[in-house]
Amino acid sequence: MGLTAELMRDSDSLKEWSMRTLFKRLDALFEGAIAIDRHGNIVWVNDKYLRMLGNLNAQEVLGQAIETIIPHSLLRQVLTNGEPILLDLMGFGNQTFVVTRMPITDAEGEVIGAVGFCLYDMHHCLKPLVSKFDKLQQELAETQRRLVDHRTTRYTFDSYIGSSPACAEVKQRSQRAAQLDTTVLLLGETGTGKELLAQAIHASSDRAGKPFIAINAAAIPENLLESEFFGAAPGAYTGADKRGRDGKFKLADGGTLFLDEIGDMPLQIQAKLLRVLQEQEIEPLGANRVIRVDVRVIAATSIDLKSHVANGRFRSDLYYRLNVLSITLPPLRERLADLGALCDSMLSQIVERTGMPRREMAPAALQRLCQYDWPGNVRELRNTLEMAVLFSDSKTLGADDFATILPAVAAPDALDGWRSLAETVAAAERAAIAAALHAAGGKKTRAAQLLGISRATLYEKIAALHL
């Protein structure tokens, strides 16, 4: 009774006693409690918190920096700004805890430490909230994983089919590009496999585990290009996402950004792209801050960039910045020796995708394909083969199977598209040699026997016809 009467008479004593009682009650009520000093070092931790930490003993914990024991702790933030964090969620191991963090002040109001309380098991009313948060975290992690999978590459250098000298040179330069973390410029007609090669370079580089993001500059309206490339701040323009959006450079951070058809990019965006390449930083649309990015750019175009530079449609400084390591992909008509291998690979892909019976190519069919110029290159060849497979019931595709798909070969006396005798002979020899090499499985001695010529003559013709 004496102590009670004294406390009732002395308000300061009552306040001090109440705080001690409250602290003890909180210590018993919460799942764990921990305190740090003004330097962020742990000075007190209760037994329940030690059990949460993996049954550590106090001697292993006391005196340690708080982040050493609890990596995601925000107690140092409370220590720095003096503001409590009354309700928060903190992940620790495989669990999520509801936490309260409060500053500790001296008589003058100076922050001299901070204390944190964890509650979980004893507060059943919060379990639904924590469980929902855990579920959302798991869904977010799964979504991020699928997003990363979606942004990984599908092609390697083995996907670039062919063994002709032109194909071998492309592979050699591309493998060199994969070893160098520098900008690459891919040149070539549409359908020659520029994105395939870009993916192969990324997959063989040190950035292989990071995102590969592709964007076609010609397929996006000019007024949306800037936000697509660099992102946009919340409410940057009418109709913009209230949460803002990340641009392709931000999504590709740490990895590779493939800029297809870069020759169609407007001059205004070209200037901003040049700055990004030089400074490795972006400024989202409507934002007043810059964001550092680490992105390797592989650009591609099917147009003559030099002529665009000459007539002012493409910035010369950007061209020279992109043209650090250029690779020219040859059109299909310049590597007809690869036609047989390409057909075999594509026919196998058609079988895997459609489940239709496997088809083979007759030598006459290959010879017919060699007589065509292939303006759409490998992409057109794939489409042609798919059409032939769909409309033919034969196990072996012959020349007749392509009669209604490919344009008819001009008659010898036709004036339209007339070629000289030398050109006609060269085209016929090229087609015959390509077909013989495919029939012989690439063995030149056997191919020479099929053609009725010596092996030395075959080598001479291969070199002369650039096969």
Report how far residue 165's alpha carbon sits from residue 175's, in angstroms, rounded to the nearest whole number: 15
Residue 291 has pLDDT above 70, yes or no: yes
Overall number of domains in the chain: 3
pLDDT digits (tens, 9 = 90+) for 12-43: 666 666 666 766 666 666 778 889 999 999 99
- Whether residue 412 sits in one domain with residue 384: yes
Q: Domain for residue 199, yes or no?
A: yes
Strands 111-119, 95-105: pairing kind: antiparallel
- Whether residue 179 sits in one domain with residue 240: yes
What pLDDT sits at residue 243?
64
> Which residues have CB under 8 Å from 386's CB, separation 6+?
350
Q: Domain for residue 19, yes or no?
A: no
CATH number, domain of 206, equals 3.40.50.300
Mean pLDDT of the residues in the chain: 82
What pLDDT sits at residue 238?
47
Compute φ and ψ for 277, nearest 5 degrees.
Answer: -65, -35
Q: Domain for residue 2, yes or no?
A: no
Q: Average pLDDT for residues 89-108, to the nearest whole number?
A: 79
Compute φ and ψ for 72, nearest 5 degrees.
Answer: -100, 15
Name the 3-class secondary structure at 393. coil
Most confident region among 16-25, 133-142, 255-264, 414-423 by mean pLDDT: 255-264
Instruction: Indicate the helix (H) or strand (E) that contains 461.
Output: helix 455-464
Q: Using only the alpha carbons of the chain, give its radius of gyration.
A: 35
pLDDT band for 396, please (50, 70, 90 cuts): very high
Residue 194 has pLDDT above 80, yes or no: yes
More confident residue, 120 or 50: 50
More confident residue, 111 or 135: 111
Residue 261 has pLDDT above 60, yes or no: yes
CATH number, domain of 41, equals 3.30.450.20
Structural tokens at position 40: 């962020």
pLDDT band for 122, please (50, 70, 90 cuts): very low
More confident residue, 121 or 71: 71
The lowest-confidence range among 204-218, 230-244, 328-342 is 230-244
What pLDDT sits at residue 29?
66
Is residue 229 within 8 Å of residue 247, measured between CB atoms?
yes
Residue 193 has pLDDT above 60, yes or no: yes
Q: Domain for residue 21, yes or no?
A: no
Neighbours of 442 (CB within 10 A): 13
What pLDDT sits at residue 1?
47
- Whether residue 457 sits in one domain with residue 326: no
* C-alpha angle 4-6-12 in degrees, rounded to nearest 5: 110
- Whether residue 261 sits in one domain with residue 168: yes
**Which residue, of 283, 313, 330, is where some domain finishes?**
330
**Which residue, of 330, 355, 378, is where some domain finishes?**
330
More confident residue, 358 or 450: 358
Q: Domain for residue 305, yes or no?
A: yes
- Whether residue 309 sits in one domain with residue 270: yes
- Whether residue 339 sits in one domain with residue 325: no
What pLDDT sits at residue 108?
85
Q: Which domain holds residue 376?
A: 334-464
- Inter-CA distances, 428 with 185, 187, 432, 447, Å: 35, 29, 6, 16
CATH number, domain of 445, equals 1.10.8.60
- Whether residue 83 sits in one domain with residue 174: no
Structural tokens at position 289: 């801050």
- Whether residue 313 sits in one domain with residue 201: yes
What pLDDT sits at residue 368?
92
Q: Domain for residue 442, yes or no?
A: yes
- Whether residue 181 sits in one domain with residue 120: no
- Whether residue 320 sits in one domain with residue 181: yes
- Whether residue 171 sits in one domain with residue 297: yes
Residue 9 has pLDDT above 70, yes or no: no
pLDDT digits (tens, 9 = 90+) for 123-182: 455 566 666 666 776 776 666 555 555 556 788 999 999 988 889 999 999 999 999 999
Q: Domain for residue 5, yes or no?
A: no
Is residue 49 within 8 Å of residue 32, measured between CB atoms?
yes
What pLDDT sits at residue 325?
94
Q: Domain for residue 9, yes or no?
A: no
What pLDDT sits at residue 154?
84
- Whether residue 340 sits in one domain with residue 326: no
**Which residue, of 276, 300, 330, is where some domain finishes?**
330
Residue 201 has pLDDT above 90, yes or no: yes
What pLDDT sits at residue 414?
46
pLDDT band for 449, please (50, 70, 90 cuts): confident
